[in-house]
Structure 1
Amino acid sequence: MNVKLLIGLAIALASPLSALIATPASAADNIANRYLKASEPYSKATCPVKPDGINNFVYFSRDREAIQGHPLLTNTRFSGAQIMYSWRNLEPSEGQYDFSDIKADVDYLAQHGKKLFIQLQDASFSPEYKPVPNYLLTDKFDGGVTGQYTDDGKLEGWVAKRWNDAVHARFERLLLALGKEFDGRIEGVNLQETAIGVTAKSDHSFSAARYIEGIKANMQALKTAFPKSTTMIYANFMPDEWLPWDDKGYLRGIYDFGNQIGVGLGAPDLMVTRKNQLNHALAMMHENSFTVPLGIAVQDGNYIGETGTEKVVKKRKNLVPMLHAFAADFLKVNYMFWVNQQPYFEEDVLPCFAEYKNIQGGQ
């Protein structure tokens, strides 16, 4: 997620407004800070976490082999595993699909009474990895992918041209093939985050309007392909918009559309003290009512209040009970995806999701 680039865009877009707002105590500043202390009421939450109807999954990214013998298999508090599968691996050549990894994971989890939640990868945060099939990397599909860049112009990954009609048509066929094979057999499937490091300057085929159309088209195709299993999109940030100052209705529109067609809404990174996340996806969930499932992912670094880091902090407060309480009460989510990051998952998550007994009721 290229938050730095989005912040840079926001500053540029908000500059006329800044000239009119003179003091830190302004209304715009106040609204931007409105949720900064929202997590404080949940800071005293403790372990073990009481069952509350949230479906808890363990997120393995693309490390699918790690589910073998994993503690989630014998813990009734976890519904199953969320695993990322790249478009590149699922369609090695045009129209030829290989779902063998998914089938193996569905069967293995089922042996232990667990379900699979698929995350489809069409974007990467590695300059070395293009997550789409080679046949898309041609003129017929306008190259198929485009680079994601930081605000200083550094290439940080790739994303499928979601706004390109030809690329969308191939993605829709992938979804339909997956749905034919797995709808009703898996717990759910989610599309990757909407935040991308792309601008009209870095890719002349891109525009915010076309991007919104492409995202909605993918959402509709997802719902058509999976009428039984849970469907979801990680809608966290949108290009050319920065909330709350520059609200063009882009992100809000995605949430409204998902609720309208029956596609769940979610986001990566449960960052409860960061204005960026609080003013975007977390605000969307908190401020609105939904008839579709909501989900939130606790990803690398979130166990220590950061994001995208492999840092190991030995002396730390266990944030898991607070994160769970915040997600349950403030966001009212139906799904939580806990990343299998060590040592935090073993030392912090598992103790909080031990088999729970209602001592007061004598059970």
Structure 2
Amino acid sequence: MALTATAGVAAAAPTPAKATAPVSHGKVTDNLYMSLGAFEDAVSGEDPKVKAIIDRKDIGGVQVVAPWKALEGKKGEYTWSRLDKALKHLQERHKKLFVQVQDRFFDVAMKDANVPQYVKDEGGIAPTVDENPDNPTTHGAMAAQWNKQVRADFQAMLKAMAQKFDGKLAGVNLPETAVEVDTKTDQTKYTSKSYIDAEIDNMRYGKKVFTKTQFIQYINFLPDDDDHKRMKEMFDLARDKKIGIGGPDTLPDRKYQMENSYKFLHAYKDALPLVAMAVQEPDINAKDPKTGKPFTRERFTDFAHDYLGARQMFWTTEADWLQKPTA
């Protein structure tokens, strides 16, 4: 997950442009977050510890991260068996399945990016760098969504996925917007404008094809958006088209987060159909600026619900409270 801070001119506090009826927040539902492979290892019995966590009565569902390659092998040939099995397993336990469709990969070599081989063969991936203020700089890769053919192929997969699973999945989300393409080595003609335009186009398309399952876009940072005009554009679109918004990290009061998507989530929370926030592995070790100690479960939850408006939370299975028996 990228945590690239945006520096530059401070933008005015965002305000939703249209008056809308407040969304009822209700309580937060706790779910798990893991890769599709980790989920399969758990339910097969290879990882009994995680299987037991999935089966906890206080867990409402699981968000699996499914890489594009896992859903499409050869161009236009889609494979749904892995999601079918995950859905069946959870439905039998009266739990929900959320799917994050992954097209970007951190700390991985370009050749190992988990996108269909034909996308690589056609020059459809770009090198990225993750200058995370909390961790050493790493390099990764992502699908070049600003390439019209790449985006058309990705959207064709989303359409096929919707035809199969719309109304069966609890939510489908696209991953975080925080990416930094390594322009020194990129050969895909990336620009920050074309990247954001592509993200917005995928948001629109996802909502168009998923009419029953809640479609969600994760937003945290945007490149070259110091005045946050493009981020506001995305939040306005989410409000107007009833697209859910979320993020890969819950980091209460973290300055660089508060100056980016968090302030928009706070301003728009009553106008969005859903806010869904993750607490991933690095988050549970991050220090609370108020105490100097790792964040507690209560601190994560209170901030996510009260400030950001979250109604669904996706927890790493490494969270401390999940290592203890249910009350």
TM-score by length of structure 1 reads 0.75
Residue 223 of structure 1: aligned partner: 207
CA distance, structure 1, for counterparts of residue 40 and residue 202 of structure 2: 29
Cα deviation, 1:63-110, whole Å, max 9, x if unaligned, reads 122542623454333211110111012111111111111000000111
| SS across alignment from 2:281 | coil
Residue 82 of structure 1: aligned partner: 63
Residue 34 of structure 2: aligned partner: 60
Among candidates 67, 89, 102, match of residue 121 of structure 1: 102
Question: Does the CA-based 8 Å contact 1:73-1:114 persist in structure 2?
Answer: no
Q: CA deviation at 1:3?
A: 3.7
Among candidates 260, 266, 289, match of residue 240 of structure 2: 260
Change beyond 3 A, Cα 1:84–1:217: same
Q: In the TM superposition, what are the counterparts of 1:12-51 in structure 2 within 5 Å?
A: 14=8
Residue 152 of structure 2: aligned partner: 169
Q: CA deviation at 1:281?
A: 1.7
| SS across alignment from 1:89 | helix
Question: Does the CA-based 8 Å contact 2:277-2:312 persist in structure 1?
Answer: yes
Among candidates 218, 224, 230, match of residue 240 of structure 1: 224
Q: In the TM superposition, what are the counterparts of 1:1-363 in structure 2 within 5 Å?
A: 1-4=1-4, 6-7=5-6, 10=7, 14=8, 52-62=26-36, 63-68=38-43, 70-128=51-109, 129-139=112-122, 143-150=123-130, 156-198=139-181, 200-203=183-186, 205-241=189-225, 246-288=226-268, 289-305=270-286, 319-341=296-318, 344-347=320-323, 354=326
CA distance, structure 1, for counterparts of residue 228 and residue 148 of structure 2: 24
Amino acid at match of 2:39: R
Question: Does the CA-based 8 Å contact 1:125-1:156 persist in structure 2?
Answer: yes
CA distance, structure 2, for counterparts of residue 158 and residue 232 of structure 1: 22
Deviating runs (4+, > 4 A) in structure 1?
150-155, 199-202
CA distance, structure 1, for counterparts of residue 296 and residue 228 of structure 2: 34
Which residues of structure 2 form unaligned runs of 5+? 14-24
Residue 36 of structure 1: aligned partner: none
Change beyond 3 A, Cα 1:259–1:154: same
Amino acid at match of 2:221: F
CA distance, structure 2, for counterparts of residue 65 and residue 306 of structure 1: 32
| SS across alignment from 1:112 | coil
Which residues of structure 1 form unaligned runs of 5+? 18-27, 33-50, 308-315, 356-363
Q: CA deviation at 1:155?
A: 5.8
Task: Please say which structure displays the higher CA radius of gyration.
Answer: 1
Cα deviation, 1:120-157, whole Å, max 9, x if unaligned, reads 11000132321210111234xxx111000245997611
CA distance, structure 2, for counterparts of residue 306 and residue 175 of structure 1: 37
Question: Does the CA-based 8 Å contact 2:102-2:175 persist in structure 1?
Answer: yes
Amino acid at match of 1:225: V
TM-score by length of structure 2 reads 0.82
Amino acid at match of 2:192: A
| SS across alignment from 1:107 | helix
CA distance, structure 1, for counterparts of residue 302 and residue 87 of structure 2: 30
Q: CA deviation at 1:192?
A: 0.6
Question: Does the CA-based 8 Å contact 1:73-1:112 persist in structure 2?
Answer: no
CA distance, structure 2, for counterparts of residue 208 and residue 306 of structure 1: 31
CA distance, structure 2, for counterparts of residue 248 and residue 134 of structure 1: 35
Change beyond 3 A, Cα 1:193–1:274: same
| SS across alignment from 2:79 | coil
Change beyond 3 A, Cα 1:221–1:74: same
Change beyond 3 A, Cα 1:214–1:148: same
Question: Does the CA-based 8 Å contact 2:284-2:294 persist in structure 1?
Answer: no
CA distance, structure 1, for counterparts of residue 257 and residue 295 of structure 2: 21
CA distance, structure 1, for counterparts of residue 222 and residue 186 of structure 2: 16
| SS across alignment from 2:69 | helix
Amino acid at match of 1:64: F
**Identity level (%):** 29
Question: Does the CA-based 8 Å contact 1:296-1:335 persist in structure 2?
Answer: yes
CA distance, structure 2, for counterparts of residue 90 and residue 131 of structure 1: 10
